[in-house]
Each structure stands twice: as C-alpha cells, then as structure tokens.
Structure 1
Amino acid sequence: MTLDGDAAAAASPAPGASAIYFDGTSNRRRVVALKLSDALEIREDGQRLARWAYADIRRADSPAGLLRLSCLTAPNLARLEIRDDTLAAKVVTLCRQLDENLPGRKGVAAIVGWSLAAAVSIVLVVLFGVPLAADRLTPLVPDSFERRLGDVAEAQVKVIFSAKRCDNAAGQAAFEKMVGALRQSAGLDNSVQSGVLATPIPNAFALPGGKVYLFDGLLAKAESADEVAGVLAHELGHLRHRDSMRELIHNGGTSFLIGLLFGDITGSGALIFASRTLVTSSYSRDAETNADSFAIETMHRLGRPAKPMGELMVRVTGKEGGKGLSIVSSHPLSEDRLAHMGKADAGNTLSGAPLLSAAEWRALKGICGAGAEKL
C-alpha cells in the first residue's frame, strides 16, 4: 500500500507519543507505541503486539478527550485508547472508515424509521388487535376466575369512592323487588349480586363476576322507578354480555402496550389501571348498543317503557355538564340512542303493572338515609 501525501505526513507520530492497549484476552493495561505505516502497528518495548489494517479500525464509545478504537479483525474486547490529540488526529486521517459502524445520517434515519414503525405497530395492535383478542378471550375465562376478578375490582371501588353499602330495611326490600323482577325478565339466575352505594356521584356500573351497583347520587336524581329500572336493566345487559370482563382484558392489554411505548416494560401497572378504569371508562359503541337493546327487551317483557332510562341520563348530562365520574362519562348517551328507546316504546303495548308502589319507590329513594354499612 502506498500512502498519499496526507497519509505520509501522518506516518511518523511525534516522539514519545503513546497509547493504552487492551488485547481483549486479559485485563492487562499496556502502554504502547504506535507505528503508522501501511497499517497501524501496536508495539510494546519494540515488540509488535498487533497490526490493524486501517480499513478495519472503528471508533468505539469513549468520553471526551479520548479516542478509543476497536478492530474488526482483533478480539472483540480489544481496545486502543489514544489521549494525545496530535496522534489521534493522525490516526483519524488514516482510518477512512472509522465511523462506519456509528449511526450517521442514514443510521439515525433508520433508527427513527424503525422506531416510528414500532410505535405505529403498537398503536394498530391497541386499536384492532387488543379488542379482537378481548372478544376471543372473554368467553374462555372461567366463571370462578371472573368472580375473583370482580372481588378485586370491588375492592378498587372501595378505595376510589370510599363507598358504603346502603341497607335501610324498607329501601333494601324495594330494591331487591326491582332487581328480582328485572333479573327474571332478563333470564339471569340469582347469582347476580347488586346493591346501592352511598356516594353522591351519579353512576351505576357492572363488574366482572355478576356484580351490579347503583350509586345513591344517581338514585337521588331519578324521578320514577322506571328510570332506575332501565339503568339496572342496561347494567344487567353488560353482565349478560360479559362486557366488564372484556373491558378488563382490553384495558389491561392496552395499558401494557402503552407501557412498552413509555418504558414500563414489565407492564406492572396494567392490571391496576384496568381494574380502576372499569368504573370510569366508556364501553364500546357496540357494547352500549347491545346493552340498550337488552334493557329495552327486559323492560318491555315487564310491560314497562325503556325511554325513562335515557331521560334520566340526559337529565344527569344537563346538570353535570359532562364533568366528573357520572353515568354519562362511563355510558355516553347520544340523542339517537334516546330517540331509539322512544321509538321502541311506541311500537309496543306497555301495560305492565308498576315495578314498585308509591310507598316502595319512596323507600328506595331513601335507602341510604340510615343503616349504611361498610363494603
């Protein structure tokens, strides 16, 4: 190999210039001299230890003020460290492929491109893959396991709302009468657990394992038994379709993937996030539509209208302004849905007896007035 003018000028390092060499087979630190000819020779006490071709030399990670080199043909851990700025500049001049293994513009672009592709892939999985997986997995979850998950979610309710179960005797009797009639009309067995919780938040929700809860804040805004019955029938629809279990799988999988995007590679917060959001997040549009249809059919079999449920939710919307953990935040209601309920009522003969008497309705409204016990 014949050096050009610049290379020839760099071939003879300054007298006394030295470097530190690690041969890659031991941790011995060698003070060596470098000879720059047609290749870089590493010498110790006049003896050649290694000969690195310039084309094989690559820059290795190093702090400022230090040039650290590796060689493609040397042992993997072999390193050469040069602190002399003049010598380092001469070596850099001779090693034309020094930075080939480092991310230049093309490397950075490739990294950014692959990162964006990975992010888009995760987003697509969140939007399409996780819901599909939740739909497929939900029917496979054993009832016993779902009940245990429901117990965990119920504990989250206690933490989030500091709720108490309302147990006024007359109000509880009226509530059980209403739930019993709805359960029989819906074709559900007596394993369904339900209760009224003493919290001012206007909400109602279903949990995995057959649990339905009504908040006193929603009961306080209701003006008729049919309004409350419609909401409970809607929640029973979510139970029948196992929507809460599906949301738990969906939210858990989604939060795990989002954790991957932001560095939580263990997904440690996924299940906690999922169980907490069971009472604050919205069901899918299909789940809400199916629960609406279930509620309409359940109420109509009892000869009662379904539209009052929608009217209650609209009333809450107007008074709450969409803020807080109201039933509208977890069960978004559109005018189209309300109109659908009214149209369904108009097409049926609704001559069933009231679900509760006037006295029973008053008792239900006052169920949280006394006798509340901790969950």
Structure 2
Amino acid sequence: MAVTDGDAVIYFDGTSSRRHAAALAFGDALGIAVDGETRATWAYADIRRADSAPGTLRLSCRTAPPLARLEIRDAALAAELASRATDLDEHHIGRRGVAKIVGWSLAAVASIVLVTFYGVPLAADRLAPLVPESFERRFGEVAEKQVKLVFGEKACNASPAGQAAFDKLVTKLRSAAGMDTSVQSSVMSSDIPNALALPGGKVIVFDSLIAKANNPDEVAGVIAHELGHLRNRDNMRGLIHNGGTSFLIGLLFGDITGSTAVIFAAQTLVTSSYSREAETAADTFSIEVMQKLGRPPKAMGELMLRVTGKEGGKGLTIISTHPLSEDRLARMSREDQTPKGPPLLTDAEWQALKDICGKGKV
C-alpha cells in the first residue's frame, strides 16, 4: 500500500461530489483506499487518462461509475501507475490520429466541392427534363406570387390597345418558336427594366424595359430570349442546381436543416439567375426566332447594352452569370441580317405597347 498525505491522491467515488484523500495499492489491480478501507479496485487495462491541469494526472475507469475520478499529484505515483496502465491513452488521439482525421476531413471537403461544381449541375441537367409539367406549373404559381410580393401586384391592364399589341407580339414569337398556347405572358409595372421566365411557361416583362426600347424588335428579342429559357427548362434546372448546391454548402458550414436550400431556391425563382451556358443558349434561341421572323437579332443586344451600360472592367467577369452586354451585342451583330420580314407591330401598335401601363407615352 502506498500511503499518501494531504492532496497527493484525491478520489471521487462518482456518487457524490465529496473529495476523499486516498492511498493507492499497486497489485494485480489498482486498489484505492480511503481511511484504511478499500473503496474501489480498478483493473489497469480499464484505466484511462482524463483532461487535467498541468502537474495533475486525472484518471477514470471504464468499469467504475461514469463520474468517478482519481487525481494524482505525486510525480512518482503518477509514473508508477502509468507504467502499469499501458492503455492509459488508448482513447486519446495521437499525432497520427489527428493527421488521419485532418486528411479525411480535407477529402470530405474536396468531395463536396467537386460534387457542388460538377455533380450537382450534371444531376440538374439529367433531372430537369424528368420533372412533370404539372409539378413545374405549381412551381410557376409559387414563383409568380413571389414576384408579385417583391415587386407589388401591378399587372398592366389600363390600355386594351397596349395589351392587344403585346399579345400580337407574343403570338408571333411563340409561333416562330414552335411553342403552344400554354405559354402565358404579361406586363407588370416596375422601375426595374427586366423580364423573367418562370417555371410552367410564364413570361413577365416589366414596363420599364419596354420604356427603354426604341422599337418592337428590341422587346421581341428579349421575349424570345425568355422563351428560350422556358424551352430549355432552365428554371427547373436552376432550382435543382441551386437547391442541391446550397444543401452541400450547408453541410460544409453546419446547416443541415435545409433552410439554406429553401432560401437559394426562392432566390432562383425571383431573380431568374442562370449560368452563362444557359444564357448563351437562350441568346441562340432568340437569334434563331428573330431570323425566322426576318427581323434583326442584334436589336436585343442593343437594348441590353442600353440597359446595363458597358460592363467590361466592372469586376470579375469570370463569375458573371451572363455574357457581357458588349459581347452579347457583338455576337448578335454577327448574326444580323437585313430585315426581310414585315414589322412585328405597326407604329400605332408600338405606341400603344409603350403605354400599356397607362403612364403616358414615352
């Protein structure tokens, strides 16, 4: 029996918070005595090191009560026990263990990044065409409510002549694009010059965009571009892509509740943000539709440049989700042709379209 004085050995039995000055007996197992009475016997193979302050060896035992602890402040006793309890640090992570955990963690992060940039887009491309149209239409209804919530429910219906001109323009574009009458289009009042394609075949044009246009061809090119997004189902592809990507980002940052995915999906619905590839494909669709109508494709590019101004040098264009307006105009100008088809609208119809929201002719 190794008898100790004072606080050299302190024993907590795990059933109360009382400190017991203890003595240790090193035999086939570790004996712990308090006031000359053996209170516990710990097998050396079951003794493990616990966190402790410098100069103190704190121990627990796998077969003892969970809160039982032994604190040894005598260096000689601590060394003696450590020589017998060979599994003292079995549950502690050594340098090799830390390196292994770090390695696997980095591998997990790398795999998530790879799936985010390559796997999710590939899955979105494969899954989008499989989504039933009825399901997509329900998404479109939700998206339309979000748009009206953000921009206000300000559908333009003040000018029957303007609505008739808009319907005529959309009908010509839809027919040239080979799309059926399920495509729904409308004009909303907003100070933001933009147009949106929503899931389920909905196109919304803001009157500020029409106000900036100089002729029907410019508006027609933009609407044809949005029809291209509908034809290619870019909305559903974006929802799947952004939802899946945000979920993986949640894994990286600890949000696995899916709330981030919902936020990203809602953002996609309202902003209609597409990849460069999707934007380029929609531009191609617009060019083809305008050429079928015998109208100049570059008209859309001229309107976009007028709306955005020159974008070159404004930032990191490599992360931009759309082609630069200058590049877009240059490409459409290369595809341009002398107008061979009749004007899409008469002068009177064009003026009526410009005043579709009843704000006065621009």
Q: How does 1:1-375 map to 2 (within 5 A)?
A: 11-14=2-5, 17-22=9-14, 33-38=22-27, 39-43=29-33, 46-47=37-38, 49-53=40-44, 56-60=46-50, 68-71=58-61, 74-75=62-63, 78-82=66-70, 86=73, 90-91=77-78, 94-95=81-82, 98-168=88-158, 169-280=160-271, 282-318=273-309, 331-346=322-337, 350-369=339-358
Which string of whole-angstrom CA distances, capped at 9 and with x for unpartnered residues, describes residues 266-312 of structure 1?
11231232122334363222212221121111111111111100111
Count of aligned pairs? 347
Is the CA contact (8 Å cut-off) linking 1:14 and 1:87 kept in structure 2? no
CA RMSD of aligned residues (A): 3.2
Local SS of the residue matching 1:35: strand
Q: Percent identity?
A: 62
TM-score (norm 2): 0.84
**Contact 2:151/2:190 (8 A) holds in 1:** yes
Q: Look up the SS of the partner of 1:335 in the other structure.
A: helix
Partner of 2:317: none
1:82 & 1:268 partners in 2: Cα distance?
A: 46
Letter in 1 for 2:357: C
Give 2:68's aligned amino acid: L
Question: 8 Å contact 1:313–1:333 — kept in the other structure?
Answer: no
Deviation string for 1:7-29 (max 9, x for gaps)? xxx9543268441134xxxx678
Question: 1:310–1:333: 8 Å Cα contact kept in structure 2?
Answer: no
Q: Is the 8 A contact 1:66 1:82 kept in 2?
A: no
SS of 1:112's equivalent in the other structure is: helix
Letter in 1 for 2:13: Y
The CA deviation string for residues 97-140 of structure 1, in whole angstroms up to 9 with x for no partner, is: 64453334444443333332222221111100110110111111
Distance 2:74 2:245 in 1: 55
C-alpha distance in 2 between matches for 1:181 and 1:152: 28
Spell out, residue by residue over 1:232-288, the C-alpha distance to the aligned partner (whole angstroms, 9 max, x if none): 000001001100110011111111111111121111231232122334363222212
Q: Is the 8 A contact 2:25 2:32 kept in 1?
A: no
In 2, Cα distance between the equivalents of 1:220 and 1:89?
A: 90
Q: Is the contact between residue 281 and residue 330 of structure 1 (CA under 8 Å) also seen in structure 2?
A: no
Q: TM-score, normalised by structure 1?
A: 0.81
One-letter amino acid of the counterpart of residue 148, structure 2: K
1:164 Cα deviation from its structure 2 partner: 1.3
Query: Does the CA-based 8 Å contact 1:153-1:276 persist in structure 2?
Result: no
Q: Which runs of 5+ in 1 are unaligned?
A: 1-9, 324-328
Which shifted more, 43-52 or 87-96? 87-96
Aligned-partner Cα distance in 1 for 2:101–2:264: 31
SS in 1 for 2:172: helix
How much does 1:231 deviate? 0.3
Displacement of 1:160 in angstroms is 2.4
Assess, with a 3 A threshold, how the Cα gap between structure 1 residues 365 and 11 changes in structure 2: closer, same or farther. farther
- Deviation of 1:190 (Å): 0.8
Q: 1:179 to 1:13 in 2, by over 3 A?
A: same
Distance change >3 Å, CA 90–CA 298, structure 1 → 2:
same
The alpha carbon displacement at 1:165 in A equals 1.0
Residues of 1 paired with 2:162 and 2:273: CA distance?
A: 29
Contact 2:297–2:333 (CA under 8 A) maintained in structure 1: yes
- Per the TM alignment, residue 228 of structure 1 is displaced from its structure 2 partner at its CA by 0.4
Structure 2: stretches of 5+ with no match in the other structure: 315-319
SS of residue matched to 2:173: helix
Q: Deviations over 1:316-338 (max 9, x none)?
A: 12189999xxxxx8644353432
Query: Does the CA contact (< 8 Å) of 2:311 and 2:324 recur in 1?
Result: no
Secondary structure of the equivalent of 1:345? Answer: coil
Which residue identity does 1:187 align to in structure 2?
A: G
Aligned-pair CA distance for 1:81: 1.6
Bigger shift: 240-249 or 150-159? Answer: 150-159
3-state DSSP of counterpart to 2:251? helix
Following the alignment from structure 1 to structure 2, what is the Cα–Cα distance between the partners of residues 76 and 48?
A: 11
Aligned-partner Cα distance in 1 for 2:233–2:6? 82
The offset of 1:313, in angstroms, is 0.6
- SS of aligned partner of 1:362: helix
